[in-house]
Amino acid sequence: MRPFGNDITNFGSNNSGGNGGANGGNRGNNNGASNGRGGNNATNNETNNEGTSDDPRLPAHIARIGGIATCSPIAGRGIIRVVHRCEDAKENEHLDLSECQLMTLPDAVYHLMRNTVLKSCDLSGNDLKSITPKFTQKFSAITDLNLSSNNLSRLPDELANMTALAKLNISRNSFIVLPQVIFKLESLTHLDAQENKIYEIDTDEAIVSNTLVVVDLRNNPLGSLCRRKLQNLETSFRLEISNDDEDDW
């Protein structure tokens, strides 16, 4: 804790306490008064060093993680929410960063999770426009990944390195084609891609997963030719697509 209490207590006596220091009434007060400006400067320096955020509730050591220099009170509360959820993930191996107003995944998350093997991750309800290769490398053991309700239009090829990924939710994003890397996920069982802008799917692309159970493509503006191919496609998994009259586009 910073020694604000003593500084505030002595501030009034420092204004009039220069006389007290000259009269030598109290050696301790004299020292405090004569060093008043130095004490204030020290306090100011310490405040500047620790006050890396406009939000006083944001600890300095957290604000500095990932290169965060300054932030508004609202952003500060968002960072605190992310940090608390990362702390929870250390206990249950499930990282829930849904509805955190994220435009990208902060470096602080990788720092806080560096000694944790995540099994699932929920990034839904943010404003993400991309998933970086770094994410797939750092969290390669994830089995359940929820990316729904973002602004994603593509996925990195490195996603194929997440060999344990069984459930992938990319619904309610901005995909216009189904990313080919999805076909390379060898452990995939459930794919939810509904409510995107997908109009074409390469039905000739080989699906690596032998454990696929369901692919949900409902509420996408699939082209008529693509729709017919999918309807006539023989698969070992359940393929869910909307009828022509069910898609409202």
Share of the chain above pLDDT 90, in %: 53
- pLDDT, tens digit, for every residue of 226-236? 888 888 888 88
Query: How far, in Å, are 29, 62, 80, 118, 161 from residue 108 at the CA level?
Result: 44, 8, 11, 15, 23
Mean pLDDT of 132-147: 98
Q: Which CATH architecture has domain 117-246?
A: Alpha-Beta Horseshoe (3.80)
Helices 27-34 and 36-50, packing angle to 10 deg: 60
The per-residue pLDDT for 228 is: 87
Of 75-84, 137-146, 216-225, least confident by mean pLDDT is 75-84
Among candidate residues 138, 134, 169, 140, the one with its CA nearest the CA of residue 152 = 169
Q: Are residues 187 and 210 in contact, defined by beta-carbon separation less than 8 angstroms?
A: no
Q: What is the mean pLDDT of residues 127-140?
A: 97
What is the structure's pLDDT at 6?
A: 35
- Backbone φ and ψ for 113, nearest 5 degrees, come out as -100, 10
| Per-domain residue ranges of the chain | 4-50, 117-246
Top-confidence residue, 226 or 29: 226
| pLDDT-derived band at 37, boundaries 50, 70, 90 | very low
In the chain, count H helices and then E strands: 8, 7
CA-wise closest residue to 48 among 67, 70, 68, 26 = 70
Q: Compute the average pLDDT of residues 149-174.
A: 98
* pLDDT higher than threshold 90 for residue 83: yes
What was the pLDDT predicted at 62?
Answer: 54
140 vs 9, residue with greater confidence? 140
Question: Which pLDDT band, with edges at 50, 70 and 90, does 48 fall under?
Answer: very low
- Backbone dihedral region for residue 207 (phi beyond 0: left; psi -120 to 50: alpha; all else: beta): beta
pLDDT at 7 over 60: no
> Is the per-residue pLDDT at 121 higher than 50?
yes
> Is residue 138 scored above 90 in pLDDT?
yes
Best CA proximity match to 31, nearest among 21, 39, 44: 21
pTM of the model: 0.70
Residue 52 banded pLDDT, cuts 50, 70, 90: very low
d(CA 226, CA 179): 15
The larger pLDDT score, comparing residue 240 to residue 50, is at 240
Q: Which of 18-22, 75-79, 180-184, 202-206 has the lowest mean pLDDT?
A: 18-22
Average pLDDT score over residue span 197-201: 92
pLDDT confidence of 4, banded at 50, 70, 90? very low
